[in-house]
Structure 1
Amino acid sequence: MPTLFDPVQLGAIAAPNRIFMAPLTRGRGTHEHVPTPLMADHYAQRASAGLIISEATGISREGLGWPYAPGLWGDEQVEAWKPVTDAIHAAGGRIVAQLWHMGRIVHSSVTGQQPVSSSATTAPGQAHTYGGKQDYEEARPLALAEIPRLIDDYRRAAANAIKAGFDGVQLHAANGYLIDQFLRDNSNFREDAYGGSIDNRIRLLDEVTRAVADVIGADRTGVRLSPNGDVQGANDSNPQALFTAAAARLSEIGIAFLEMREPQGDSSFRPNEVPPIAPAIRQVFNGPLILNSDFTPESAERTVASGLADAIAFGRPYIANPDLVDRISGGLPLASPDVATLYTQGPEGYTDYPFARETATA
Structure 2
Amino acid sequence: MKQEWHKHFLTGTKPLQVQSAIAVLIIACPCALGLATPMSIMVGTGRGARADVLVRNAEALQALDAVDTLVIDKTGTVTEGKPRLIATETAGKWGAETVLRLAASLETRSVHPLAHALVVAMEAKGIQAASVADFASQTGLGVTGNVDGHAVVVGNQAQMQQQGIDVSALIPDADARREEGAGVMFVGIDRQAAGLLAVADPPKPDAKVAIAALHTAGMRVVMLTGDNARTAEGIARQVGIDEVHADLRPEDKASIIRDMKRKGARVAMAGDGVNDAPALATADVGIAMGTGTDVAIESAGITLAQGSLTGLVRARRLSQATMRNIRQNLAFSFLFNGIGIPLAAGVLYPAFGLTLSPMFAGGAMALSSLTVVTNALRLNALNLR
Structure with greater contact order relative to length (CA < 8 Å, sep ≥ 6): 2
TM-score w.r.t. the length of structure 1 is 0.28
Select the structure that is richer in helix. Answer: 2
